[in-house]
Structure 1
Amino acid sequence: KQVAAVNKYDPPPEVVAAKDHMTHVMYSMLQPHRIFDSTLPSLDAPYPMLVLVGPLVCGKRELTHKICRQFNNFFRYGPCHTTRAAYFGEENRLDYYFVSQEAFDKMVNTGKFIATYKYSGYYYGLGRDTVESIAREGLATCIHLEIEGVRSLKNTYFKPRYILLVPMNKEKYEGHLRRKGLFSRPEIEEAVSRVDTYIQISQDFPGYFDAVVNTDELDEAFTELSFLVKAYLGLEPPAVVDSIQDVNSRAGAVITGTTRSSSVNEFLDSSAKNYPGGISDKLAAQLSSVEEASLQRRFSAARQALSGKAPSAYVQLFQR
């Protein structure tokens, strides 16, 4: 006899993320199929996405906006949808899409989300239309998430680069949360405790994050983050990249008792495996005339298939 068991009380976070992914796949399959703008020609070059990960109010939102402003020829910020109310200073459509629970559930049921997660009693979701609108401009998407969102996104076919932003000075971080005046004591205590959770994940699962940046000082964090992104995009000469690595080696451990989760060199290696900088322009520049013609024929056949047309077996013989 077969026995089925369902954990309805306290399932592991990986199970929650997997269930989230299955839900979105199921609902998306019920929608009309089309070729997404984020679908790139080569399987070796998935759509580029940069994800900044970190605990509550660690500076990831500010750093995400700064990166998108500095590298506006490469990245565009992708606001997530959320059911929580806006904090002071946040703007709808600029920081998040603030929606009701009813509207959020409707988006889930119509396959509008790539990934969703729940944090502190509220729901967050990365919308498919958000990513596709950015990809339509020929740009990469830059977003920020909590760890719950990362677990969900890692189940999808997207292959982002994840950079962990973590405040190593927990006393300073706690004081920063208190000065915000937005959170209750339990919320502050939970946020501070989650710093250890992020560090533990980075230690226990090497490579889970592609790089780690200390956000005790946001200006220094932005400088380091900019170096990482410039090197990833190929905007820094090799000599500068080498100097960055020398500084990192002299700096020692970012996480107490351990070495850096990922050096600049490792970050570059992991990035180069999937998608070099320059995105579609650089990919197109690598194609020969024969490859380009073959690619266009495949695109044409795919469009005809999606529209229900069946081309004649001899059509391509007469195309020049």
Structure 2
Amino acid sequence: MALLVAQNVDSDLYGVTADSSQMLSFNNYTEEDTYNELNEISDQNLPKTEDERVSPTVSEQEPCQDGILDEESISSGLSNMGRTADGTEITFLHLTLPGYSLVDINILESYIYLQKLEVPYNKLTDLSVVSFMPFLVELDASHNEISKLLDFSPPQNLQEVDMSFNLIDEMGDLSAHHALTKLVLDKNYLSHISGIESCVALQHLSLAHNNIKKIQNIENLSLKYLNLRGNQVEKVENLSSLKYLQHLDLSGNNISSLQGVEGNRVMEILDFENNQIDDIDEIEHIKDLRLLRSLNLLRNPIQETADYRLSLLFRLPQLSELDRHRAEAEEKVSAVNLFSPPPEVIAAHDHRRCMVYSTLRAAKVHMSTLPNIETPYPILVLSGPLGAGKRVLAHRLVEEFGKYFGLGISHTTRSPLPAEMEGKDYKFVSPDDFDGILRKGDFLLTYQTSGHSYGVSLNAIETVAEQGLACVLPMEVEGVLSLKLAYFQPRYILLLPLDPKRQEERLQADGGLTSSQITYAVARTQLYQQTHQDKPGFFDRAIDTSDLENAYSQLSRLVMTYLGMESTGTESSGAELRDRSTPASRSSSHVESGSLPQSGSQRQGASSASSSVRTWSKPSGNPTLKQSSPGLQNQRTGSSRQMNSVEKASFERRKSAAKSAAAGIVPKPLEQLVDKPPGTAPGESQFDLGPNKPLRPKTVPSSLPYHDFYSTSPDSSVPSVASDSHLSNISEAGGISPSGSPISDEDGSRPASGISFASDKPALPPIINSPEQDNDPEY
């Protein structure tokens, strides 16, 4: 049963069924009475038998003979009972008549209270009957044969109209439809947009699959959704005034540029599928759309770009969907690592390449790794930006302390500066030669900065190690990151010019750099300062090199402190060498003492050696050598952290290889890349374990030098077993003697009974200021 409110009859309102056979008066009725009576009438019209319910009548199977709407079809399409617009009556508000092949619906003139009319998939050409429905809100007349848009007197609040798939070729003037919020005219014959300039409430406009060539006449509308899919648009234009636009669909057009969308700051969805966009730089036009979450560029030439998807996710990290596929977090990380990786990722990549190529060579025991497996070869790294003076200070340090240090010569692909010399400062090679050296496995580490490649070869370190000296390596911070992944355990000194004018003047005096290169070099100083601040322990010490003379004085004093050569009075109380902003670094620490007993034969053999032995720390039995820096604390105190997983894996692989080589077992080239537990050390019978000798294999000649530069920082630590290992001594002659050399007492009458070593380094290192800067708050 279906019920509609009819006209007033004798001042009483009546309810009438679709077939007018039953009347229901609403005068003096309560709402409950009304619903009860409506239900009774509905029960009377329900099928009584099972067959009647299952088998519809012939009229139900073929409604609306000759395409003319009848009451029976209306009764089957009515739904959503509710109050009329004025709130005084109860009636059906929705009428749905899809696929009835209707050509005439004039019978609906009396259904004035309808609020939603759906007549899709018919053959209608005229909708003038809508003029009799003043309360109509939604109209769906899609898939008909209508040629004129909204050709009827507008209802008071008509908001949503769907007239897609019709024969409309002109939009006409829609200014009378002031309440219109949604207009769908897909699949018509429209060639331009017009007539909606006054529809200020319009939020949804769909004109897909028409013949529109230009976006126009939509300025200053309140559009949130605009669909122009499948037209002939060649340029995105006239959208800047649509400040509420969130969804734009321009797929299936002839657009070659994304320019024109950049002004829509609240844009969330862009669909440009099947267009002519071919340049990856077009993404620059939409990179500032911070709310953009979905972008579709399928079937565009741009997809042929190498690493297309990662490139877009790198440029548009705000996307959650790209080309109809979810943008995963892993993809975004991969995009950053590919196009702008953090320095740590670059260092890991360079280290991996060097390791792979080096393991393809035949295994070899290097002077810088044996004979003492637990003690890394001594390296001093001077790091700082261009113009910091690290190379000048390295040369002076090697000249003054030539009995202890040798300079490691790195390779580079850049051209030499006027003050640089081949073989003394760098080995200058072409990019092809550099790549050839890398592929031969000769590099310990490589890094890139300022568009040039740098590399430190194992041969550069071995050349210094064969002389029994510690290696000094000047390098940029990128090289430090790579070296920290290797098996060496250097000391890292940061050389930082805090006065940019001094640094700039120094670079200009050196010559060979353009003004832009100098500006870039000065700006890179901030990178070193930020690294020193954000990564405590990354550098062991920091020195201001604005004044090179003062900087070298501080550097030499620091090295002498490490060697145990400095008097207590010149140490300047240790606290001045620490970061005054770090309370933890102000606490004093002490060097733990220990003795290394020596047998009589050892003392006798060492009596002919020099009596003035310098080491990284103070000998416990010799009062003539001063107390080491308070920051040098034994590793047993726990001030140094353990290795991270990458460092530990590298260290263990090298340790295992060294033990195997010492036992006469040569590992295969690729075995060192496999993460596995370190090999079992050879039995005791394979080593010479004298009562006072450090661990050394019998197969190593007694003349092979021991390297004694062992120390750790909070950032580059070694396994705790190394804290108990003894360090060999750097001899007066520049070699590293295989046993502890005697150290005389103050009167020179007797040798010391043993030597104490400090294997730890200070906590957070400060920038060592020049004396005149100590009270300056800027430093």
TM-score range relative to shorter protein: 0.7 to 0.9
In structure 2, what is the equivalent of residue 245 of structure 1? 574
Distance 2:584 2:428 in 1: 34
User: Aligned pair 1:39/2:403, yes or no?
Assistant: no
Asked if the contact 1:210–1:262 (Cα under 8 Å) also holds between the matched residues in 2, the reply is: no
Q: 1:21 aligns with which of 309, 329, 351?
A: 351
3-state SS in 2 of match to 1:295: coil
In structure 2, what is the equivalent of residue 282 of structure 1? none
Asked if the contact 2:689–2:696 (Cα under 8 Å) also holds between the matched residues in 1, the reply is: no
In structure 1, what is the equivalent of residue 696 of structure 2? 295
Distance 1:189 1:41 in 2: 47
Asked if the contact 2:381–2:492 (Cα under 8 Å) also holds between the matched residues in 1, the reply is: yes
User: Aligned pair 1:112/2:513, yes or no?
Assistant: no
CA shift digits 1:274-303 (9 cap, x unpaired): 9xxxxxxxxxxxx97346496233649xxx
Q: Tell me the percent identity.
A: 38
CA shift digits 1:151-203 (9 cap, x unpaired): 11111011110000001011222233234332222212211111111111111
Q: 2:419 aligns with which of 89, 103, 106?
A: 89
Q: 2:380 aligns with which of 50, 57, 60?
A: 50
Residues 63 and 199 of structure 1, relative CA distance in 2, 3 Å threshold = same
User: 1:53-202 maps to which residues of 2 (within 5 A)?
Assistant: 53-202=383-532
Question: Which structure 2 segments of 5+ residues have no match?
Answer: 1-329, 587-627, 641-687, 702-779
In structure 2, what is the equivalent of residue 9 of structure 1? 339
Aligned AA (2:479): G
RCO comparison, higher one (Cα < 8 Å, 6+): 1
Asked if the contact 1:210–1:261 (Cα under 8 Å) also holds between the matched residues in 2, the reply is: no
Asked if the contact 1:172–1:216 (Cα under 8 Å) also holds between the matched residues in 2, the reply is: yes
Asked if the contact 2:371–2:697 (Cα under 8 Å) also holds between the matched residues in 1, the reply is: no
Structure (1 or 2) with the larger CA radius of gyration: 2
3-state SS in 2 of match to 1:142: strand
Cα offset, 1:262, TM superposition: 7.4
Cα offset, 1:57, TM superposition: 1.7
Distance 1:225 1:9 in 2: 38
CA shift digits 1:237-279 (9 cap, x unpaired): 34433x3526547xx85xxxx45997883653389999xxxxx
Aligned AA (2:358): S
Residues 248 and 211 of structure 1, relative CA distance in 2, 3 Å threshold = closer
Asked if the contact 2:410–2:426 (Cα under 8 Å) also holds between the matched residues in 1, the reply is: yes
User: 1:217-232 maps to which residues of 2 (within 5 A)?
Assistant: 217-232=547-562
3-state SS in 1 of match to 2:696: helix
Question: Which structure 1 segments of 5+ residues have no match?
Answer: 275-286, 301-320
Aligned AA (2:515): R
Asked if the contact 2:574–2:631 (Cα under 8 Å) also holds between the matched residues in 1, the reply is: no
3-state SS in 2 of match to 1:269: coil
Residues 39 and 212 of structure 1, relative CA distance in 2, 3 Å threshold = same
In structure 1, what is the equivalent of residue 534 of structure 2? 204
Distance 1:65 1:180 in 2: 16
Residues 40 and 225 of structure 1, relative CA distance in 2, 3 Å threshold = same
- Which range moved further: 224-233 or 40-49? 40-49
In structure 2, what is the equivalent of residue 236 of structure 1? 566
User: Aligned pair 1:268/2:669, yes or no?
Assistant: no
Distance 1:113 1:170 in 2: 33
Asked if the contact 1:31–1:111 (Cα under 8 Å) also holds between the matched residues in 2, the reply is: yes
Asked if the contact 1:209–1:261 (Cα under 8 Å) also holds between the matched residues in 2, the reply is: no
Asked if the contact 2:496–2:525 (Cα under 8 Å) also holds between the matched residues in 1, the reply is: yes
Residues 260 and 144 of structure 1, relative CA distance in 2, 3 Å threshold = farther
TM-score, structure 2 length as denominator?
0.34
Residues 292 and 270 of structure 1, relative CA distance in 2, 3 Å threshold = closer
Residues 260 and 38 of structure 1, relative CA distance in 2, 3 Å threshold = farther
Cα offset, 1:89, TM superposition: 2.0
Asked if the contact 2:381–2:473 (Cα under 8 Å) also holds between the matched residues in 1, the reply is: yes
How many residue pairs align between the two structures? 281
In structure 2, what is the equivalent of residue 317 of structure 1? none
Aligned AA (2:563): L
Asked if the contact 2:413–2:434 (Cα under 8 Å) also holds between the matched residues in 1, the reply is: yes
Asked if the contact 1:203–1:261 (Cα under 8 Å) also holds between the matched residues in 2, the reply is: no
Residues 41 and 237 of structure 1, relative CA distance in 2, 3 Å threshold = farther
Q: CA RMSD in A?
A: 3.0
CA shift digits 1:188-234 (9 cap, x unpaired): 22111111111111111111000000001100000000010001011
User: Aligned pair 1:30/2:360, yes or no?
Assistant: yes
Distance 1:271 1:82 in 2: 36
Asked if the contact 2:492–2:539 (Cα under 8 Å) also holds between the matched residues in 1, the reply is: yes
Asked if the contact 1:76–1:134 (Cα under 8 Å) also holds between the matched residues in 2, the reply is: yes
Residues 293 and 11 of structure 1, relative CA distance in 2, 3 Å threshold = closer
Distance 1:46 1:36 in 2: 12
Residues 293 and 44 of structure 1, relative CA distance in 2, 3 Å threshold = closer
Aligned AA (1:289): G
